[in-house]
A = this chain, B = another copy of it.
């Protein structure tokens, strides 16, 4: 039996116990996790130092090193996050629907845990705790498979969490870490359909594509964001410039940042120079269509076809002039990733047509795409942003980590 099969079996057993655990027990486990992390902060920092030192030696990029690094302050942030999750209502055992049938049997649809959740992610040790805590709160066991660069940090966190849940009277195997961080172990996890109920990849486009294509376990696809802001001819141009600046520049690396600006032809001449002025303050590279370059001049890089539909994750913006609303809707439905799309217009008819016609997780009128986020939507905490249509779409909070079952009570009904 491989390491993973064994871990899968143990996690499934643990999930059966968690399935019937009450809110108090689960919250106690989370509180123990918070306390234990606080107590063993030095241990975590020391293990993290091993990871960061090895990473520096192997020549990791500055951005990746930053994501990998833990500090006392960041650990405090993780603990605050746990306390926020404790404060959220328990998503399990809710009666979602109820009906009494003509034959007298009563049918309830109850929220229940999913079971065992696998998370595949990159070298971000905070995800180890954030994801595990959300899974546990929703009554799920979790198998974590993080990036190899963060292995020592992840193992420290997982050992702490296993000790803590045990102290709360739950099985240690509610939380497990895949210790083999080879590519092969990720592939093996994707075949573990006997024990895993869901697999959630968190990370870059390559990781997510690989999981979607290879997994036999049901996958929730998260996080690829090719978001558009479309400035309609009836837009308030000041508002539009603020929105595209915010959507592009407030945090270009995240999935709800804008990658493409579409502008109606009739206002492009007045709007594009305004927008460029603002974007210049952050040295945004504009890659424009031909008409954009006619207006903004040759300093604008000519856009290639592949620039549209690309997630730059950087201070780069593709710009295209369109004939109007219909072209904008078609263009977005073809080039977007189904994440977040915005129209800017004072014309409510145009806004409603856009909101109806765009096929994406979040569609905005006169709001920056940057709001697509569990916290901003009021879900409390988020495990990711689903860009698929099955099960969950958009920011996924606790409820999206649950399933349901029908419970039927009767007195001898037969059919």
CB of B360 within 8 A of CB of A405, answer yes
Which partner residue on chain B sits nearest A348 by CB separation? B409
Residue of B nearest to A238 (CB): B412
Cα A413 to Cα B355 in complex, Å, equals 17
Instruction: Indicate if the CB atoms of B105 and A367 lie closer than 8 Å.
Output: yes
- A362's contact among B219, B394, B406, B415, by CB below 8 Å, is which? B406
**A250→B413 CA distance, assembly (Å):** 13
Please measure, in the bound complex, the distance between the C-alpha atom of A336 and the C-alpha atom of B78, giving whole angstroms: 39
How many copies of this chain sit in the oligomeric assembly? 2
Q: Which residues of the partner chain B approach A16 to less than 8 Å between Cβ atoms?
A: 333, 357, 359
Q: For window 194-245 of chain A, which residues contact chain B by CB distance below 8 Å?
A: 197-198, 212-213, 216, 218-220, 236, 239, 242-243, 245
Instruction: Tell me whether A246 is interfacial, beta carbon within 8 Å.
Output: yes
Contact B114 A408 (CB under 8 A): no
- CB contacts (< 8 Å) of A247 on chain B: these are 414
**Interface footprint category on A:** 35 or more
Contact A20 B403 (CB under 8 A): no
- Determine if A378 is an interface residue (Cβ-Cβ < 8 Å): yes
Q: Report whether A405 and B415 are in contact in the complex, using a CB–CB cutoff of 8 Å.
A: no
> Given that A363-B405, A406-B361, A410-B364 are contacting pairs, would A388 and B218 also be in contact in the complex, using a CB cutoff of 8 Å?
yes
Instruction: Give residues in A with beta carbon < 8 Å to B.
Output: 16, 19-20, 99, 101, 105, 107, 109, 112, 114-115, 193, 197-198, 212-213, 216, 218-220, 236, 239, 242-243, 245-247, 250, 333, 351, 355-357, 359-368, 370-372, 376-378, 388-391, 393-394, 403-415
Chain B residues whose CB sits within 8 angstroms of the CB of A390 once the complex forms: 114, 197-198, 218, 220, 390-391, 403
Q: Once bound together, how far apart are the Cα atoms of A367 and B370, in whole Å? A: 50
**A370–B410 alpha-carbon span in the complex (Å):** 13
Given the contacts A115-B389, A390-B114, A250 and B101 also touching, CB distance less than 8 Å: no
Closest Cβ neighbor of A358 among chain B residues: B405
